[in-house]
Amino acid sequence: MKSDKIKEKFAKVALPKAAELKDFIKENGNHVIGSYTIEQVYSGMKGMVGMVTETSKLDPEEGIRFRGYSIPELRDQLPKATGDSEPLPEGIFYLMLMGELPTEDDVLQVSNIWARRSNVPKFVFDMLDSLPLNLHPMTQFSMAIMALQKESVFAAAYRKGLSKKEYWDPMYEDVMNLIARLPRIAAYIYRRTYKNGVHIEPDAKLDWAANFAHMLGYDDYDMKRLMRLYLTIHVDHEGGNVSAHTTHLVGSALSDAYLSFAAGMNGLAGPLHGLANQEVIRWILDLRNYYDGAVPTKEQIHDYVMKTMDDGKVVPGYGHAVLRKTDPRFIAQMEFAKKYIPDDVNCRIVHMVYEVVPPILSNIKKIKNPWPNVDAHSGALLMHYGMDEYDFYTVLFGVSRALGVLASLLWDRALGHPIERPGSVTSDWMKNQAVKATV
Ligand code: HAX
């Protein structure tokens, strides 16, 4: 087998940490880190610390940091493809895995490893070809990942008999194989669903994101640049979001990377999570239609937002369970739009919506965050470069999200994290607690 410097380095970085962690828990395990309220339990455990994720940490006011680095810092400091100004996603994966910024050579190693492992077995394509063309792309994506589970190195090794200390090794193989194959699978779903099944072979000379754009059918430089940014900023958002938490939870039962990641993708496919990116562009197109296709005024946008809420719907792309300020991932996309496509109509509407919506949502007491999240912008950028099949957008998100949640899953196995099993109570139990607290 070819030597794999990334695997060797990960073992050096991660394995000593497992023993360190055991000692830390032994010495500090009784230290209390917080308390929580009945409301928090009923509101989806918001703000309760209940898990450890090494790859990134979300600050409500500032936004996400990956191993301590913010999005603007990473756009500046991560290695780039020749002539490009946006980072290569291979770099952020390396950072999440090793905890340090990669060199250009490190990024090249990751790129080469993924290119080498990217072959997708024919039965996966055959399975996809048997599905109805109008099956949502996210469902196709999840099914393809599940079919690929047949290839799991972890599942096969576990069946043969595997010591706990060795779990990380076959998990590394699964994580790298799965990430390597996802662009091909996603592109296949796109081309079979929207491009009459005319598929495009991968180009091993291209980096991971550029090759993905190529297989989707977008060979122009601008879409490749957008894809590198897109696939970098969607990777991770600490551990508690639905897709990351689900991947971690399912993985905690020692389900392999395929089973765990497919579960995470089923969560990403929900409209309050990743599907919001397609909902946003649908909402913008509906808004334009409502005003006969013209660019709406701010007053018209205001009225349409009120109508959306009067109809009992959420304004997609706005609000967040943790963030309390504009999402830096939204800002990165807005800067991209203003720099490269300042005249794009949908992007201009997105920017007008950004002026109109926060003051409205700020006036509604129950809404905790009136600001845009990552999904408020991405669709308008993709549409500009010709990808107008918005049902596919969450698949792009999923390909990127794999890098964060699978890096975390690998850390989970290296650190020996146990099966997750939070306590749960009945409402009667809660009521008794409340009574006890008041007497
Ligand atoms: N429009 C209208 N109402 C909203 C709202 C919005 N954008 N955001 C929150 N609210 C409402 C909630 O529906 C909730 O109402 P009820 O009490 O009647 O149920 C109330 O305000 C309190 O919600 P919150 O505490 O501020 O927010 P939550 O943590 O419960 O929910 C959500 C966070 C992101 C799910 C929410 O803001 C939302 O539905 N936003 C629109 C959908 C969206 O953009 N999702 C993508 C989020 C980012 C992400 O994960 N991307 O993948």
Q: What is the pLDDT of residues 16-51, one digit of tens each?
A: 999 999 999 999 999 999 899 999 999 999 999 999
Beta strands in 303-426 (DSSP E): none
What does the pLDDT average to over 116-140?
A: 98
| Gap from CA of 312 to ligand 1 centroid (Å) | 12
Q: If you search the block for the tokens 């290296």, which residue do you land on?
A: 414
Determine, yes or no, domain membership for 254: yes
Residue 3 in this model has a pLDDT that exceeds 90 = no
| Gap from CA of 314 to ligand 1 centroid (Å) | 7
Q: What is the pLDDT of residue 309?
A: 98
Find out whether the beta carbon of 168 lies less than 6 Å from any atom of ligand 1.
no
Is the CB of residue 53 less than 8 Å from the CB of residue 244? yes
Ligand 1, closest atom to CA 313?
Answer: 2
Find out whether the beta carbon of 398 lies less than 6 Å from any atom of ligand 1.
no
The 10 Å CB-count burial string (b at 16+, else e) for 63-77 is bbbbbebebeebbee
pLDDT confidence tier of residue 232, bands split at 50, 70 and 90: very high
Ligand 1, closest atom to CA 268?
Answer: 52
Best residue among 266, 367, 371, 378 to mutate for probing ligand 1's pocket (most ligand atoms within 8 Å of CB) is 367
Determine, yes or no, domain membership for 311: no
What does the pLDDT average to over 349-366?
A: 98
Residues with a known catalytic role: 273, 320, 375
Find out whether the beta carbon of 321 lies less than 6 Å from any atom of ligand 1.
yes
Is the CB of residue 216 less than 8 Å from the CB of residue 190? yes
Determine, yes or no, domain membership for 104: no
pLDDT confidence tier of residue 1, bands split at 50, 70 and 90: low
Q: Which two tokens stand for residue 34?
A: 């917080």
| Gap from CA of 415 to ligand 1 centroid (Å) | 34
Determine, yes or no, domain membership for 366: no
Find out whether the beta carbon of 315 lies less than 6 Å from any atom of ligand 1.
yes
Distance CA 176, CA 415 (A): 18
Determine, yes or no, domain membership for 330: no
Q: What is the pLDDT of residue 301?
A: 98
Ligand 1: which residue has its CA nearest to atom 18?
366
Distance CA 237, CA 267 (A): 14
Find out whether the beta carbon of 370 lies less than 6 Å from any atom of ligand 1.
no
Q: How many domains does the chain have?
A: 1
Determine, yes or no, domain membership for 368: no
Residue 382 in this model has a pLDDT that exceeds 70 = yes
| Gap from CA of 339 to ligand 1 centroid (Å) | 30
Where in the sequence is the domain holding 195, given as residue range(s)?
Answer: 114-273+391-415
What does the pLDDT average to over 126-141?
A: 98
pLDDT confidence tier of residue 2, bands split at 50, 70 and 90: confident
Find out whether the beta carbon of 318 lies less than 6 Å from any atom of ligand 1.
yes
What are residue 66's DSSP bridge partners?
56, 69
Is the CB of residue 152 less than 8 Å from the CB of residue 256? yes
Ligand 1: which residue has its CA nearest to atom 40?
319
Q: What's the CATH code of the domain at 181?
A: 1.10.580.10
Return the closest-CA partner of residue 259 out of 405, 121, 137. Answer: 405
Residue 258 in this model has a pLDDT that exceeds 70 = yes
Find out whether the beta carbon of 368 lies less than 6 Å from any atom of ligand 1.
yes
pLDDT in tens, 40-89: 999 999 999 999 999 999 999 999 999 999 999 999 999 999 999 999 99
Is the CB of residue 376 less than 8 Å from the CB of residue 330? yes
Determine, yes or no, domain membership for 353: no
Is this prediction's pTM over 0.95? yes
Averaged confidence pLDDT in the chain = 97
Q: Which two tokens stand for residue 310?
A: 């009067």
| Gap from CA of 303 to ligand 1 centroid (Å) | 20
Determine, yes or no, domain membership for 308: no
Find out whether the beta carbon of 237 lies less than 6 Å from any atom of ligand 1.
no
Is the CB of residue 224 less than 8 Å from the CB of residue 218? yes
What does the pLDDT average to over 211-239?
A: 97
Best residue among 366, 374, 399 to mutate for probing ligand 1's pocket (most ligand atoms within 8 Å of CB) is 366
Ligand 1, closest atom to CA 43?
Answer: 30
Is the CB of residue 79 less than 8 Å from the CB of residue 145? no
Residue 431 in this model has a pLDDT that exceeds 90 = yes
Find out whether the beta carbon of 369 lies less than 6 Å from any atom of ligand 1.
yes
